[in-house]
Amino acid sequence: MVKRTGPTNVQTIALVQLLRKHASEQNINLWRRIADDLEMSTRQRREVNLFRLDKHTKENEMVIVPGKVLGGGDLRHKVTVAAFNFSQSAVEKIKKANGSCLTIPEMLQKNPKGQNVRIIG
């Protein structure tokens, strides 16, 4: 039997609870899926480089990364990215491409229905 590990950070636990509550109240599976992904251990969380975002997104698209966005590569178009965490170089490159960086709670507040949002990672 495998011991289930999960977040021990108080803010992460609160975020998962917030996402689960919103998902059950509004019946939106996107936020439930993000909560499931954030409950994984730190080693299993996603890490996405900018070249991957550039390759798999289009202009003015909204994406969520349930993990960390890293600064490897370049972003050549405007994208709104919500993630659990960003590296400093990723933030600089996203802003240089006229994109925006949001936290997951900010994305939840901005787009509570989760419409036109893709999960990358």
Mean pLDDT by 10 residues, the chain (121 residues): 70 92 93 92 87 93 95 94 95 95 94 92 82
Residue whose pair of structure tokens reads 């975002």 in the numeric block: 53
Which CATH number goes with the domain that contains 112? 3.100.10.10
- pLDDT score recorded for residue 5: 67
Percent helix, strand and coil across the chain, each to the nearest 5:
45, 25, 30
Whether 20 is in a domain gets the answer: yes
Whether 2 is in a domain gets the answer: no
- Measured between alpha carbons, how far is 86 from 2 in angstroms, rounded to an integer? 30
Query: Number of folded domains in the chain?
Result: 1
Whether 3 is in a domain gets the answer: no
For the whole model, what pTM was predicted?
0.88
Whether 45 is in a domain gets the answer: yes
Q: Domain containing 32: what range? A: 10-119
